[in-house]
Chains A and B, each alone.
Chain A
Amino acid sequence: MFDFVAFIPRAVAQGVPLMLGSTGETLTQKSGNLNLGLPGVMYVGAICGVIGSFMYETSGVVMNGFLAVAIPVICSLFGSLLMGLLYCFLTVTLRANQNVTGLAMTTFGVGFGNFFGGSLIRLTDTEVPSISLSATSAYFKATLPFADELGWFGSIFLSYGALTYIAIIIALGCSYFLKRTRSGLNLRAVGEDPATADAAGINVTSYKYKATCIGCMIAGLGGLYYVMDYSSGIWSNDAFGDRGWLAIALVIFTMWRPAVGVLASFLFGGLYILYLFIPSGTNLAVKELYKMLPYLVTIAVLIIVSLKKSRENQPPEHLGLSYFREER
């Protein structure tokens, strides 16, 4: 029988970086910015956290639980904030093409991550090509003390580190913000029709900046989660892989709804690792085909959404276009 108790926690762990990434990207896209630099932002978020905690772990002071978590989190937020500012400066202030800027940011961010990752690996002088921050990771992975005693219930619902629950809260919070608050409404207006929003007295530039920067910071946390929790504090170059693109896929899959993203990201996480749980015997090749599933599902959703043409489920009207007041 299919082993759900083993499968679900792994699907969730796989899904959390995607959830954070897609929540951040949803917020960004709602402001009309299609940030294809997301993979780069997540890399930068991850490596900044790693640099921070590497400095702290090797500084020789006795580790304090609070600082061990706070330092990487702050470094990660700061790194991804800078990436967000860069993206906004180029696309909003200088009105550059969003796709090109995003792709350049991905090149830069992935390069940045691998470069500093590689340099730190050299500093540690180890044989294996990775950095291990197990002490910091232990703090990130700390679970409730009684989780182990609750059997299957414990392992499905309570076996995760704090960042998992924080990710869910952020996603639900974003959903509430977008749907139920005045600022959320304004933000959606900016993404749908910036000229009208501008005429209504909404500061388009400020909304775009804030949404994109906060979105990038949330996405950066996704990168941090991947290193600190999912891979137990081990950074190796290119290990993060194509999760950034998958997070963008998830935005479409959830049709710009962060609350749906919570479950959808677990589903994607499950699809991502399904091949490990499918008994395929010695036929390794088929497993590669299973890895296609998340992308195929996204394509299917994309097609269905465009077929149905329902007005709620469309991308923000002004997605991918920059706004200039004097060009109507």
Chain B
Amino acid sequence: MNNGKVRVPLVHISRRSALPWYKAWAIRGIAIVLALIVCGILTTLLTGEDPIQIYISMLDGAFGTSRRIWVLLQNIAILLCVSLALTPAFKMRFWNIGGEGQILAGCLATAACMICLDEVLPNWLLIAVMLVASLLAGGIWGLIPAFFKAKWNTNETLFTLMMNYVAIQLVAFFIIIWESPVGSGNVGIINQQSQAGWLPMIGTNRYMLNVLIVAVITVLMYVYLKYTKHGYEISVVGESERTARYVGIKVERVIMRTMLISGALCGLAGFLLVAGTDHTITTTISDNRGFTAVMVSWLAKFSPIFMVFATFLIVFLDRGASEIASDFGLNEAFGDILTGVILFFIIGCEFFITYQLHFRGRHAKEAAENV
């Protein structure tokens, strides 16, 4: 070191060796708390209300009545289903942002069966056919980009994105064909009289079955990713395609198989939406869940268990924010702003989990001590 004039940067960044899980979650917790504080300040600035009142209002929106709790659970179930669907693809480093299109493909197949086959088949068989059709439709919608990715390495992010809009227009096309009443521009409630193809209620509860189905899928997906040969192959392909080839994994087959599963599960989410809750089909039926699920899956670090919490957080915010919006006379889009702010904080905090900052002052002192 000639005359001590070496320029030391103010901050030096280095990768952390693995952080214990409780510290990582503490950092995430701090980020969420900070985000909620910022959201509170933002809402106070815009409405002039007491921030405590705002949080109470949020809790009330999510848990206020038993109906609200069920709506919350139903929304969690669908979003969780889509997030689980996307996870194997992401683990393989296949950016499937076409969840939206795959959900719609599932919805379309379900609705088509409900409309065309309602008088042909007995109800139980109709539901079975709907289920298979929706899985197939979603799966095929996911398989198309995967095929091109596997064969010719076509960019999957952009391909799946475009497939969303093809699906939306396809749904728009069929909505006009199935219009009822003609000229209204929407399909209306399908089979309102006969309730053919509607998923059965458990007791008096319309949403219970959806929640149970998704709970089972969560467990299955956890096992699939963690304890099966397929799951192992997916993580090897995700970590390094070259290694996968070297050890004799057929990468093309893994990519196509995984996307088939991913798409089919999105199709299942579509089935649950149409047959389980909405009983109709619109172009916005999936409500951007295909995109939200990308964030959920990533926030949960692709672990199905954490995904339950991440979905809960997102859906809770969404329901809470829409309650704030209606309580304080703001418009619905306010929820999106709050969700965005919170996501920015969570996305940003990952940095502090992965990397470590060394400031100049302390660093210099350490160096001096070492001498």
Contacts and interface: CB of A to CB of B under 8 A. Distances in A.
A108 B333 contact: no
A166 B207 CA distance: 54
Given A108-B336, A111-B335, A118-B333, A242 B347 contact: no
Given A118-B331, A302-B159, A106 B291 contact: yes
A309 B335 CA distance: 44
Interface residues of A, number: 56
Interface stretch (A171-179, A223-231, A290-298): A290-298
Contacts of B333: 110-115, 118, 237
Grouping DSSP codes into helix (H, G, I), strand (E, B) and loop, the A interface class, with mixed when no group exceeds half, is: helix
Contact of A111 (B97, B159, B339): B339
A6 interface: no
Given A110-B336, A252-B155, A289 B148 contact: no
A204 to B, nearest CB: 14
B339 A252 contact: no
B29 interface: no
Contact of A299 (B159, B294, B347, B355): B159
Interface in A1-18: none
A292 B101 CA distance: 13
B340 A97 contact: no
Of B148, B172, B331, B341, chain A has the most CB atoms within 10 Å of the CB of B331
A248 interface: yes
Interface in A281-328: 284-286, 288-289, 291-292, 295-296, 298-299, 302-303, 305-307, 309, 315, 320, 324, 326-327
Contacts of B158: 248-249, 252, 298, 302
- Secondary structure at the B interface, as helix, strand, loop or mixed, is helix
A169 interface: no
Contact of B152 (A109, A112, A303, A315): A303
A326 to B, nearest CB: 6
Contacts of B354: 95
B15 interface: yes
Interface of B: 13-15, 95, 97, 148, 152-155, 157-159, 161-166, 169-170, 172-174, 176-177, 288, 291-292, 294-295, 298-299, 330-337, 339-341, 343-344, 347-348, 350-351, 354-355
Interface of A: 34, 36, 86, 89-90, 94-97, 99-101, 103-115, 118-119, 122, 237, 242, 245, 248-249, 252, 284-286, 288-289, 291-292, 295-296, 298-299, 302-303, 305-307, 309, 315, 320, 324, 326-327
29 contacts: A90-B347, A94-B348, A96-B347, A96-B351, A100-B295, A100-B347, A104-B347, A106-B291, A107-B291, A107-B340, A107-B343, A108-B339, A108-B343, A111-B334, A115-B330, A118-B333, A248-B158, A249-B158, A249-B162, A286-B173, A288-B173, A292-B165, A292-B166, A295-B163, A295-B166, A296-B166, A298-B158, A302-B154, A306-B154
